[in-house]
Amino acid sequence: MNTALSQVAWKSWVAGGSAVPPDEVTERSELLLALEAGTLIEEAAGFRFLDTEALVHEATAFAIENEAGILTSSGEACFRRLNELWTQDKLEDHSLPGQLLAALHNVGNIDAYVFARQAVEAGVRPYEVVRILEEAVEFFAHADSTSMMQFFSGDYCGTQ
């Protein structure tokens, strides 16, 4: 992982896909490969990703590197953080929270459906859980049918 590139992606994602000023980038030399490959362009305002999908991919890598502890600690903590990110997401057609959940699920750090059920049982609003799942499911490489069934057919009496 190119840490500088992922850091630029994260800052750009937070800024709604805008360019990141050069003074905020620690080492310009670390971005040269991305500039040469056409992943990034340098403008007067700073560095900007040419492709939103690449931006979200790199920002996801940054979030996994820096927030894996909270995102894998419990279903409740994971979905609360993903919902915080969801409210910050300003990009059209590319959901960082959805791709982040899918990435954690695909590498086996979590079972998204088990975490989703835990989140609802812990008091996270079902709508907030389902909207993140909805954005992630197309990126799932696999899913355990039992945990899916338990999430979708579960008895959530007493939850919000």
> Is 41 within 8 Å of 54 (Cβ atoms)?
no
Q: Please return the burial class of 125, using the count of CB atoms within 10 Å of its CB with bins 0-12, 13-18 and 19+.
A: middle
- So what's the pLDDT on residue 148? 81
What are the respective helix, strand and coil percentages of the chain, to the nearest 5? 65, 5, 30
pTM (2 d.p.):
0.86
d(CA 107, CA 110): 8
- DSSP-derived pairing of the beta strands 46-49 and 40-43: antiparallel
- So what's the pLDDT on residue 107? 94
- So what's the pLDDT on residue 159? 54
- So what's the pLDDT on residue 2? 74
- So what's the pLDDT on residue 23? 60
Ordered per-residue pLDDT tens for the chain, 160 residues: 678 899 999 999 999 999 988 765 556 778 888 999 999 999 888 899 999 999 999 999 999 999 999 999 999 999 999 999 999 988 877 889 999 999 999 999 999 999 999 999 999 999 999 999 999 999 999 988 888 887 777 665 555 5
- So what's the pLDDT on residue 146? 82
- So what's the pLDDT on residue 21? 83
Strand ranges (E), the chain: 40-43, 46-49
